[in-house]
Structure 1
């Protein structure tokens, strides 16, 4: 009961403060509703940026990756700080100078209406197909697990999932649709404080347990017993090979922090450039500390659970259950709930903004007054929210690995959009035709690369290594036959899948199924406190490792592919610009919507941030 009361109490506090902080904002105008009346301060912007970025999927997912691979996954956090610095110093001054409300608005000014329409459609499709349902689904799973909602309500897991999805969706929609950007930003700021406190509690309690009530002793023990987990340089077969840091990783970060509407909209609502830069650089400084929340707990879990978890994504929730005092579980659940809401309502608010300004006002009713544009945006938001709520529960029926697959899909629109924005600001004569061609070419080429050419190349590589895979699978079969119970369906199914390798042509699919069965065997053994034979564990590990090596060697990492296509798209645009330039050079007009005097400390703060990020790689290498 105490857990539920603390959960409801903190959630209600956020709602009450957000209401009183936004009740005087004029939300009948586009600027008041979509940009919070351009009144956001640095602290509010920083808090909203961090909460929009940090969600349950990231907290659980990155800690799971850290459990498996160690500190090298910190690249997703630390390199974000450099991307934020570039955005604050280069992109934000230009955005605020042009007085834009959405990124596509700038693209219309720089290129033409077609560019704006294509970009808006790409953004909306990404939010609708990928972001909103995934946030709802992953958030519902977290809440259901923490409070055991099925048992609490006396319903099945499936019913509990539907109930929680709709609860999160409706509450998030109230913030995003009826409160506007300022309500979203204020609630994010309060939740950001809670997330920082709650998120830091987990590694603190974890280190105290490892070090027998001494944090320093806990750190020393981790460093001495697991030095391999503190190497930031990723190998070629890791999820983040070191070389990708200098190619696609930085491009993905620049797109996310500099051009993604759901993120940059917070900075666009700044009362002036000074506050906007403050907010972004504050966020960058805190992002450097991000690994303490989304990486270190995974390594702590690896030590506490002796690396025996079959499913790495279980590392964080199991660690929370083990080290957090019961009296704090409700507060921490409320903090996670805030992170879930933030990701959902931020994406929804941005979708409403894109539809109202870039589609409704532009193509449906050009002479619509401000109040009607806002109303149309809200109506679209309600429809979008319920659509995502109905879609989210069905993700439970999707095959394993869906989240990673969907992350890869984002490359379809991220790199083309980043390309035309960078070229748009850095050149004056590249025409709209170049931007439109680059957008379409970028989507088509990336889709062909990742969803046609890559599967073909991997399939060929598996075929070339079939003999070796069969030998490794025979070793696993031999081991299973020596220790399993003939009546155990899990072992029987695994043997059937292993045997299928000999006859089935789809080697990649079969190996994925086998690895899934191996993981389930280890998970069941761990839950039942059964020790599997060392020889079996070695055989299954060798098989999984070899499968991963084959995939890595068959085709370039998707981050490298993004970098290659970025360069290709830039060259296409510059070539078209050379052959068919604009007749009049583009000049960015100062709309005087806000003061664009930069923050006088912005440059030296940026230098410090970059030095600290580089130093972190020197220390952990």
Structure 2
């Protein structure tokens, strides 16, 4: 373990923590609004940084570079195609949420359908976070940290034991961070780390190309462009990690769900001080998604030439960082990766307690006609966060047994929870007489059939195509129920906004520019560009 790299890591990590503490030291965290929503006072830069870096975790650093190494640049589509979904959410879904003044996305489903639907979806969210999202973040963070600092080699302990130790270390620090700082601490650290990631996105590829070119980045670039051009292709074929047609089917649905419904993402935008700030923040996050392949994909591309016969492909990213970077840069990249794991875990933990306290615990107390104070809600929230953290830390190490690769595993399992929720949200918005029973039947049908298609019966189809087929089937089922037993009165949204709802006037100009940049990157990494 290099002392310079460790020192650099500690300095950057402590620096981010100090900025977060300084910016939140006067925040009132003894109320639900302060703990969960930063008192709804975040500006667009903080919202954008929080959205972007909450989405980016060590999962992406490890998983996407691994898939580029083993496959090609088609995995880039996950991040790049999400720009379109983010802009749709900004224009059509975020105004609906802010107009309602909701605290969680299930709150809107309660307004649209009924309390039973809200509880059903809240439980789905909680299960998803506890068994999939939070453990995956901890596991990928542990892999990255071990690879960058060679912890198992330095301490001469078993790899499996090392993962357990690092998972619990990250989980403990993340839990402490969330409990003491609330959402604003997460958002501030996300913004600072986002700036650091852009710097790393330039420095790491440069260092890797210089290493490949034996001291000359230009020579390294020439070698890269002259070899293995098939790996440059982002237009995936049927056997690739992301077949190109899936961008327009299941991936589109997953991205719409993620940016428009996923609680730990939406919560960042709900904390903005106005609709305009929220929309600007989403645009900032979109810029981040367009730049992110520099750090999430390009290192994996270079690693194809540096390590042609790597056995443990999950080690691609940490290996290239530790091999090509100076100790100071290694520590800097390690701090960014560690921060990515930490902030995504923190945001997920914060949202998990938000869902439990506001959607399950508080209504339960009201049903029992028991008064509950703000201080009591905060206390219960922190205890629940501790419980969830322990469960996630126990589950995380067992992800090592996933056969499909970390990133594919995460996306496949998340489909079990994500698209069914988006389906009932979508129909609730476009069909004013869709009844609550249709939403419950749709959720149950989708979850059961997707579970069978992925874990019992081999359909032979890519899981993203399965998601799109089940989306259509669920829509038809719900439309059939609505035709037989429609809602008595058409749904009319109640205005209960708590922030200014004036939209961002220049949003359409930036929407066009962002979409053009997205398309341009697909063209560059295609047979029409670098992959020819």
TM-score by length of 2: 0.93
Q: Is the 8 A contact 2:164 2:397 kept in 1?
A: yes
Alignment of 1:29-428 (within 5 A): 29-150=31-152, 152-153=154-155, 155-211=157-213, 215-305=217-307, 307-366=308-367, 367-396=371-400, 398=401, 400-401=403-404, 403=406, 404-428=408-432
**Aligned-partner Cα distance in 2 for 1:37–1:415:** 30
Matched, 1:571 2:438: no
Alpha carbons of structure 1 residues 436 and 270: separation in structure 2 relative to 1, 3 Å: same
Q: Is the 8 A contact 1:70 1:230 kept in 2?
A: yes
What residue is the counterpart of 1:437 in the other structure? 441
Q: Is the 8 A contact 1:130 1:406 kept in 2?
A: yes
Aligned residues: 520
Alpha carbons of structure 1 residues 450 and 159: separation in structure 2 relative to 1, 3 Å: closer
What residue is the counterpart of 2:522 in the other structure? 617
SS of the residue 2:456 aligns to? helix
**Aligned-partner Cα distance in 1 for 2:312–2:207:** 22
| Structure 1 position 214, deviation (Å) | 5.0
1:432-489 deviation per Cα after TM superposition (whole angstroms, max 9, x unaligned):
11111111111111112222222xx5xxxxxxxxxxxxxxxxxxxxxxxxxxxxxxxx
What residue is the counterpart of 2:530 in the other structure? none
| Structure 1 position 165, deviation (Å) | 2.0
SS of the residue 2:318 aligns to? helix
SS of the residue 2:311 aligns to? coil
What residue is the counterpart of 1:14 in the other structure? 16
**Aligned-partner Cα distance in 2 for 1:327–1:84:** 35
Q: Is the 8 A contact 1:178 1:378 kept in 2?
A: no
Q: Could you tell me which runs of 5 or more consecutive residues in structure 2 were left unpaired when the two chains were aligned.
A: 528-532
Alpha carbons of structure 1 residues 161 and 450: separation in structure 2 relative to 1, 3 Å: closer
**Aligned-partner Cα distance in 2 for 1:363–1:572:** 32
**Which structure exhibits the higher relative contact order, with contacts defined as CA atoms closer than 8 Å and separated by 6 or more residues?**
2
**Aligned-partner Cα distance in 2 for 1:11–1:323:** 21
Q: Is the 8 A contact 1:195 1:339 kept in 2?
A: no
**Aligned-partner Cα distance in 1 for 2:397–2:243:** 34
SS of the residue 2:392 aligns to? helix
**Aligned-partner Cα distance in 1 for 2:69–2:157:** 33
SS of the residue 2:103 aligns to? coil
Q: Is the 8 A contact 2:72 2:240 kept in 1?
A: no
**Aligned-partner Cα distance in 1 for 2:229–2:322:** 26
Q: Is the 8 A contact 2:20 2:185 kept in 1?
A: yes
Alpha carbons of structure 1 residues 237 and 395: separation in structure 2 relative to 1, 3 Å: closer
Alignment of 1:511-526 (within 5 A): none
**Aligned-partner Cα distance in 2 for 1:103–1:578:** 26
| Structure 1 position 399, deviation (Å) | 5.3
CA-based RMSD of the aligned residues comes to 1.9
**Aligned-partner Cα distance in 1 for 2:146–2:276:** 42
1:111-140 deviation per Cα after TM superposition (whole angstroms, max 9, x unaligned):
001100110111100111112122222212
| Structure 1 position 359, deviation (Å) | 0.6
Q: Which runs of 4+ in 1 moved over 6 A?
A: none
| Structure 1 position 153, deviation (Å) | 4.9
Q: Which moved more, 1:113-122 or 1:24-33?
A: 24-33
| Structure 1 position 211, deviation (Å) | 4.4
Q: Which moved more, 1:96-105 or 1:233-242?
A: 233-242
| Structure 1 position 340, deviation (Å) | 1.1
**Aligned-partner Cα distance in 1 for 2:66–2:409:** 17
Alpha carbons of structure 1 residues 251 and 19: separation in structure 2 relative to 1, 3 Å: same
| Structure 1 position 370, deviation (Å) | 2.5
Q: Is the 8 A contact 1:98 1:588 kept in 2?
A: yes
**Aligned-partner Cα distance in 2 for 1:132–1:6:** 27
Q: Is the 8 A contact 1:195 1:335 kept in 2?
A: yes
What residue is the counterpart of 1:451 in the other structure? 455
1:71-102 deviation per Cα after TM superposition (whole angstroms, max 9, x unaligned):
22210111011111111111111111111110
1:293-324 deviation per Cα after TM superposition (whole angstroms, max 9, x unaligned):
1111111111223x222343332222112210
| Structure 1 position 265, deviation (Å) | 0.8
TM-score by length of 1: 0.80
Alignment of 1:435-514 (within 5 A): 435-454=439-458
Q: Is the 8 A contact 2:147 2:319 kept in 1?
A: no
What residue is the counterpart of 1:490 in the other structure? none
SS of the residue 1:596 aligns to? coil
Q: Is the 8 A contact 1:302 1:315 kept in 2?
A: no
